[in-house]
Amino acid sequence: MTIAMGKRPIVAVLYREALPPRLDEVEELAEVRLTKADGLAEALAGPEGSAGADVLYQWHSFSPALRENWAAASSLKWVHVSAAGVSQLLFDELINSDVAYTNSRGVLSRAIAEFTLGFVLDIAKDAQGSFRLQQGRRWQHRVTRKIQGQRALVVGTGSIGREIAALLRAVGLQVSGAGRSSRPGDGFFDEIHASRDLALVVRNVDYVVLAAPLTDDTKHLVGADVLSAMKPTAHLINVGRGELVHTDALVDALLSGSIAGAALDVVHPEPLPAEHPLWSMENVILTPHMSGDTEDYLDDLGKLFVENLWRFSRGERLRNVVDKKLGFVP
């Protein structure tokens, strides 16, 4: 992945509605072609007589347009996507090509960790129950759960999982992890288990937190076997991807009391249909895939791309290079 010295790279910017922030900084470093999905082929190949694009800046994070227009991407050297999870964007031709692929890993990690901590506190202190009582104008004293000394298992030990572990440990939880393979603990996790053994290691856990990327290995990682192995007082928290969980099995576990409840920022299908039973369950907290979306997150995403474009234009190593066969940044 190189570009001729002194040559300004050509960047095709794929957007849906709003343009990315810091576009003026991108234009200082490169020739920019702005396009929506229906114009991507021309932006990649270039107008007749001009060079093709070197870079695709996929600001429209989950568009399938690159797959649909791959034939026009013969000059492409690098794709950057403004999201952390990219498994649904990868396809065989891209995976098997020499095109570098980077994501926005790390930009949203702290925000997602804070959201996760918020879920834990919401559950332990029964904030939902207090709100329902307030709506009914009922003054009803209760006791709540102390989180210090409780156990959390964070599934996914990448940048998001580590940030979650750090915050949970800071408020007194004991935190273990689950990843591709078991290994000794580190500064974030007391110990790290293999995800394939999840049903064996959730038995004494109070909070199972999902923060793993979606891959062939992690799809439906949490099914009936894992849910039935959890304590009846335990809660499932999902800030990763909806398809990490088998939704029907989760509904069954919640209805039967096999687990105490769930806090879900992501679901499958998404958005959740209006008639879906998860909407009406008092032991479920639902938020619309927003755990990483703080007031300044778009600017932070733009800042990362500008930094990587600067590196690309100088032939330096890019940040957040995805292993395309694995589907995530190792």
DSSP output for 109-126:
HHHHHHHHHHHHHHHHTT
For position 7, what pLDDT does the model report? 81
Same fold, 10-107+295-313 and 109-286: yes
Give the 3-state secondary structure of residue 215.
coil
The edge-to-edge listing of strands for the beta sheet with 284-286 is 183-184, 191-194, 174-179, 151-155, 207-210, 235-238, 261-264, 284-286
Please, are residues 206 and 233 in contact by the beta-carbon 8 Å criterion?
yes
Average pLDDT on 299-316 reads: 96
User: Which of 308, 145, 128, 323 shows the shortest CA–CA distance to 234?
Assistant: 145
| Helix, strand, coil shares, percent, the chain, to 5 | 35, 20, 50
Which token pair is 4? 């001729």
Q: pLDDT tens digit string along 103-155?
A: 999 999 999 999 999 999 999 999 999 999 999 999 999 999 999 999 999 99
For position 238, what pLDDT does the model report? 98
Q: Which CATH architecture has domain 109-286?
A: 3-Layer(aba) Sandwich (3.40)
Question: Percent of the chain at pLDDT above 70?
Answer: 98
Q: Band of the pLDDT at 273, cuts 50, 70, 90?
A: very high
Q: pLDDT tens digit string along 261-272?
A: 999 999 999 999
Give CA–CA dist 178/124, Å, rounded.
23
Give CA–CA dist 51/30, Å, rounded.
13
CATH number of the domain located at residue range(s) 10-107+295-313 in this protein: 3.40.50.720
Q: pLDDT tens digit string along 178-193?
A: 999 999 889 999 999 9
- Domain-wise residue ranges, the chain: 10-107+295-313, 109-286
Q: Band of the pLDDT at 22, cuts 50, 70, 90?
A: very high
Q: Band of the pLDDT at 293, cuts 50, 70, 90?
A: very high
Per-residue pLDDT at 85 exceeds 90: no
For position 79, what pLDDT does the model report? 98
Question: Percent of the chain at pLDDT above 90?
Answer: 89
Residues known to be catalytic: 241, 270, 289
